[in-house]
Amino acid sequence: MTDGNREPIQGGYILLSRKLLKSGIMDESPIHLKIWIWMLMQASFKDHGNLKRGQFFTSYKKMQKAMARKIGYRTEKPTIKEIRGVMKFLMKVRMVGTMKVLHGTIITILNYDHYQNMINYKIRHEGHNEGTNEGHNKKKEGFKEEKTLRKKPAKNTCPCNQILDLYHAILAELPQVGNFTERRRAMLSARWNEKAKSGRGLYSNTLEFWEAFLKYISQSDFLMGRKTEWRANFEWIITKRNFYKIIEGNYHK
C-alpha cells in the first residue's frame, strides 16, 4: 500500500492476528514462532497449480535451511529433530495440516481464509491501538486526557486504505496503485457515500460490498484483460459511470 508519493512495498503481506499473543505458541521456544511466521509467508495467497490457497510445498531440509541464523562467523541451524518437534506441535494445536508427497510435504495453513481476510477483523477507526495498551498502566497521567481529547471520526468515513488493500489482494492481475492521490481518495469516498446497492443487497458504504464487488470484477474476462490487451485499473473502476455499469453487469455478458 502506498501513501502519498511513497514507493509501493514489494513482495506482498500477511495479516497477523493479535490473538497469537494469547495462543500456546507463545509458551514454546522462539523457533516455534519463527517457523510459524515463515509458513504464513510461504503459503499461496491464491490457488496456484496443484496448490490451494493457504498451501505450500516444502521439506524438512528446506525448513532447516530457512531457519539458519548467523552467530558471529558461523551459521547455526536447528536439527531435523527440532523441526519435527515444531511441526508436531503445530499439528497438535490444529494450526497446520500436512500431506506427504514425492520429494517433500504439502503444508496447509488451517483457517487461512479466515485469518488472512481483513473483512474478518473488526474495523477500528482509531487505528491499531486495540491490544497494544495491554500491560501498560492505564491510570498514568495523560492517558485519560488523550482518550478524552481524541476525536471520533464520522461514522460514514470511507476506509480508503482498506479498500485499496482489497483491490490489490483480489485483483492482483490488474495494475497496482502506485500513488494513492487525494483525487483518487475523493473519488472512492464519493462511491462509498452514494450507498449504491448491489444485486446481493449489499451497500457500497460497507467493506462487505467492496469485497464482493471486486470479486465480481475478477469474473469478467473483459475487465481482467483476458480477451483484449486492454484491462481495467483502479481509477477506471471507481469512476462513477463505470462503477454503476459494473454493478449492472454490463461487462459480464
The phi-psi region of residue 196 (left if phi > 0; otherwise alpha if psi is between -120 and 50; otherwise beta) is beta
Write down which residue in 113, 148, 175 finishes a domain: 113
pLDDT, tens digit, for every residue of 174-232? Answer: 998 888 899 999 999 999 998 877 666 678 888 888 988 999 999 899 999 988 889 99
pLDDT, position 31: 95
- Residue 109: in which H helix or E strand, if any? strand 104-109
Residue 152 located in a structural domain? no
Which of 49, 80, 113 is the endpoint of a domain?
113
Q: Which domain holds residue 95?
A: 18-113
**Are 106 and 169 within one domain?**
no
User: Phi-psi region for residue 184, left (φ > 0), alpha (ψ -120 to 50) or beta?
Assistant: alpha
Instruction: State how far Cα 80 lies from the chain centre.
Output: 31
147: in domain: no
Instruction: Kindly state whether residues 107 and 165 are assigned to the same domain.
Output: no
Cα dihedral 78/18/168/251 (nearest 10): 130
pLDDT at 3: 52
Q: In the predicted model, is pLDDT for residue 61 greater than 90?
A: yes
Q: Is residue 91 part of a domain?
A: yes
Q: Which residues pair with 58 in a beta bridge?
A: 105
| Per-residue confidence (pLDDT) for residue 108, from 0 to 100 | 94
Q: How far is CA 137 from the centre of its chain?
A: 32
Instruction: Write down the pLDDT at residue 7.
Output: 73
Judgement on whether residues 38 and 97 belong to the same structural domain of the protein? yes
Q: Looking up cell 486495540, which residue turns up?
A: 130
Question: What's the pLDDT score for residue 30?
Answer: 94
In a domain, 135, yes or no: no
Q: What's the whole-model pTM score?
A: 0.51
**Which tens digit of pLDDT belongs to each residue from 124-166?**
444 444 454 544 444 444 444 444 434 444 456 899 999 998 9
What is the 8-class DSSP label of residue 95?
A: S
Amino acid identity of residue 201, one-letter, is G
Domain check: are 105 and 180 in the same one? no
Q: SS3 for 163?
A: helix
State the CB neighbour count (10 A cutoff) for residue 235: 15
Measured distance CA(74)–CA(181) in Å, rounded:
48
> Does residue 30 lie in a domain region?
yes
Backbone phi, psi, residue 63, to 5°: -65, -40
Indicate if 108 and 167 belong to the same structural domain. no
Q: Give the model's pLDDT for residue 1.
A: 44
Q: Are residues 166 and 243 in the same domain?
A: yes
| Top-confidence residue, 108 or 7 | 108
Residue whose C-alpha is closest to residue 213's, from 241, 178, 248, 181: 248
Query: The sheet that has 96-101: what strands, in order across it?
Result: 55-58, 104-109, 96-101
Does 245 score more than 50 pLDDT? yes
Instruction: Give the residue from 113, 148, 182 where a domain finishes.
Output: 113
Within this chain, do residues 171 and 107 fall inside the same structural domain, yes or no? no
Higher per-residue confidence, 48 vs 73:
73
At residue 82, the pLDDT reads: 96
153 occurs within a structural domain: no
- What's residue 5's pLDDT? 61
At 83-111, the pLDDT tens digits run 999 999 999 999 999 998 888 999 999 98
- Residue 89: inside a domain: yes
Choice among 63-72, 169-178, 190-199 with the minimum mean pLDDT: 190-199
Question: Looking at the 3D structure of the chain, how many domains does it have?
Answer: 2
Does 128 fall in a domain? Answer: no
Task: For residues 22 and 92, state if they share a domain.
Answer: yes
Separation in Å, CA 63 to CA 20, 91, 109, 145, 200: 21, 16, 15, 49, 44
CATH number, domain containing residue 97: 1.10.10
What's the pLDDT at 227? 84
Q: Are residues 108 and 186 in the same domain?
A: no
**Is the domain of 103 the same as that of 180?**
no
